Structure formats: C-alpha cells, structure tokens
Amino acid sequence: MSTIAPRSKSVTVGVDTHSEFHVAAVITEVGRMLGSAAFPTTPAGNAELIRWAATHGTIGDVGVEGTGSYGAQLTRDLQRAGYRVTEVDRPDRSARRRLGKDDHIDAEAAARAVLSGRASTTPKSRDGQIEAIRALRVARRNAITGRTATINQLKALLVTAPAGLREQLRPLTSAALVRTASRLRPTDELADPTNATKYAMRELALRHQFLTDQMKRLDAALTGLVAHAAPALVARFAVGTDTAGALLVAVGDNPGRLHNESSFAHLCGVAPLPASSGKTTGRYRLNRGGNRSANNALWRIVLIRMGSDQRTKDYVTRRTTEGLSKPEIMRCLKRYVAREVYAALAHTCPRPTVDGQ
C-alpha cells in the first residue's frame, strides 16, 4: 500500500526486487519513512516507479537488491535516467529476526543501507560487450555441464548393458565410445533390452556430439569478443580466452567501479583478511569470499605459470625455502597476478560499433 508524505528536499530510494513486481521505499535524508509501493517489472512499471519516487523529492541515491538478477533492467533504467544506483545485499539474518520479513520492510532496509553508507558498491552496468561475453559464457558452461553428464550416463548405461554389447564397447576410449555409439543401428523391437540399450546409447552419443559442436561455436564467438574487449589481458602469459572471460565478467562493463587494484583483489577473493585479536597481531586469514569464478581463473593462471614460467618457478623455490607450503605460495601468487590483471583491465576496449563505424 502506498503512502504519500509532503515533498522532501532530498530523498533516498530502496528497492526490493522480484520476478513479477518491485517494491520501492523512500526515506528522507534524516531517515524518516515517506512511503512505499509495489510496481510491475515491466518498462512501464519501472518508469512509474521512478516517477513515483520523484514525487517525494529530489532523488539522491537508489539502493537496489539483486542488480545482477531481478533488478538488472531496473538498474539500467535508473542509470539511463541519470540516477546513481548502489547495489544492496539482502538484510542479514539478525536484522530479519529483529524486524521481520516483508517486502516493504526489505525495501526500507535497502534505502537505509545506502543512506548510512553500509551499502556502497556500484553495480555492473550490463550494457556493453562484457555483458555479451557473460551471456555466451552461460551457454558454454551449460553445454560443458550437459556434455559431462551425458558421457557419464553413457558409460553408466554401458556397465549394465547386455554382455555382447558391453564387451564390444567396453575397451573403447570416451571419444571412440561416442563415435561408435552414435552409429549403432537398433531394430524397432524396443521391448528387447539389447535394442533398447542401443537406442538409448545412440541418443546419448548424438547429444554429446551436438553439445560438442555447440561448444566449438561458442568458443569461436568468445575468442573474438574477448580478444577485442581486453587485448592487453589475453596477451599476458597463461591467460586464455576462458580465464580472461571469467575475469572480465567479474569486473563488468564499467571497470571504473573498482577504485584500485586492492578492490579488484577483494572482488576476486585473493586479498587476505585481518584476523588479529588481543595479543595476536599481524595475523591474516584466507579470504573465502569474492567471485569464485574469477578466483578460479587466477588459480589456473598461477598453476600454469608454476609449471612453465621461469620467474614464477624461481619465486616458488625461494618461498619454499622460507617454509611456505604450496597452497600458501599459490595464494601469494594469485595476489600478484590480480595486480597484473587489474593493470591490463585498464586497457579494455569499448563495445564495437555496427559495421565497424
């Protein structure tokens, strides 16, 4: 239910996003609640939300939950309208136990998080070629997952296959198994276990081949996009299309939202966190937060360099003599690589224009 208060000079807006509707709340610069209302998640609904919020005063900051999911389009609309959007995490459990769970309460909490400065993260703009890379990577990851599940099911079906078929196919490698199974010719007697197994194995093999071809097409598309988006990044040793794509997606189309290489390290979860207490000082612990795909990409870069880059090998040797374990050395190297990657991301290119113009 919407409530309207007298127009205020400056207001802060908070939005709790959902698939079918968004709930917005408006508070004054001193934290007084002015009103809240729900709006459909359509272009017209987003425009109405912005107009409604503006009736309460001059909009300063807008805090939006779920800028990377349900709130993605609303975030784009707000940014195009010239408003500063801040990404807001959902309220913690202690706050929900104390205040209860309600969409209007969550929207108000989002506004208060922005007003207090507790929420200060600039969301990804999601309007350039990095967003295109992200979409293609989603399809590629799904193809990889599906292909792995398919070959595992094909091999599981072979274990329980009738003896003659099992002995024929069991010596084959995975690639040969897929090729051979795709050429099986079962009869129409599917009530027979042998024919039914041949039919099922052929369908699985054909699915595996389809997903393999799909991956190749997606890889070709991603190679060109990633090379254009970050040529300085892919030129680095041990940085391939997949690792570069993961790092680019973690940063987004507006890398300027990261103020320095330290913020990028925190984003990737490679910045050690202080863990000092009492007489124990100068202690740090492993950071288990951050973007795990980006963290894994840095890990893969480090792993390759440890085996192929002489400078990295020398570093590993020196740190090993100092008593560090391999995991500890890799954590240090990931931090160094994050600094190197951040410098390369400064040369990311704008999205290509139509017909090269």
The tens digit of pLDDT for each residue in 67-95 reads: 999 999 999 999 999 999 999 987 666 65
State the angle between helix axes of 326-345 and 310-321 in degrees (0 to 180), rounded to the nearest 10.
Answer: 140
Q: Give the largest CA-CA distance in the chain.
A: 83
Phi and psi dihedrals of 185, rounded to 5? -125, 80
Q: What pLDDT score was predicted for residue 9?
A: 85
> Same domain for 106 and 162?
no
181: nearest Cα among 164, 163, 162, 165: 165
pLDDT of 3 > 60? The answer is no
> Same domain for 255 and 279?
yes
Percentage above 70 pLDDT, the chain: 90
> Same domain for 239 and 341?
yes
Dist. CA 355–CA 357, nearest whole Å:
6
DSSP assigned state of 240: -
pLDDT of 7 > 60? The answer is no
Query: Model's pTM, two decimal places?
Result: 0.84
> Same domain for 45 and 97?
yes
Q: Which domain holds residue 46?
A: 8-116
Task: Label residue 357 by pLDDT band (50, 70, 90).
Answer: very low
> Same domain for 74 and 146?
no
Is residue 1 included in any domain, yes or no? no
Mean pLDDT to the nearest integer, 148-166: 96
Is residue 245 included in any domain, yes or no? yes
Q: What is the CATH number of the domain that holds 76?
A: 3.30.420.140
> Same domain for 214 and 302?
no
Is residue 352 included in any domain, yes or no? no
Is residue 357 included in any domain, yes or no? no
> Same domain for 225 and 236?
no
Mean pLDDT score across all residues of the chain: 90
Is residue 355 included in any domain, yes or no? no
Question: DSSP labels for 174-233?
Answer: HHHHHHHHHT----S-TTSHHHHHHHHHHHHHHHHHHHHHHHHHHHHHHHHHHHHH-HHH
Number of domains in the chain: 3
Report which listed range, 104-113, 147-156, 273-282, is most confident.
147-156
Contacts of 44 (CB under 8 A, 6+ apart): none
Is residue 315 included in any domain, yes or no? yes
Mean pLDDT to the nearest integer, 239-266: 93
Do the Cβ atoms of 132 and 225 come closer than 8 Å?
yes
245: nearest Cα among 216, 270, 269, 218: 218
Do the Cβ atoms of 26 and 41 come closer than 8 Å?
no
16-65: pLDDT as tens digits = 999 999 999 999 999 999 999 999 999 999 999 999 999 999 999 999 99
Dist. CA 24–CA 43, nearest whole Å:
15
Task: Label residue 351 by pLDDT band (50, 70, 90).
Answer: very low
Mean pLDDT to the nearest integer, 9-22: 95
Q: What pLDDT score was predicted for residue 285?
A: 75
> Same domain for 337 and 276?
yes
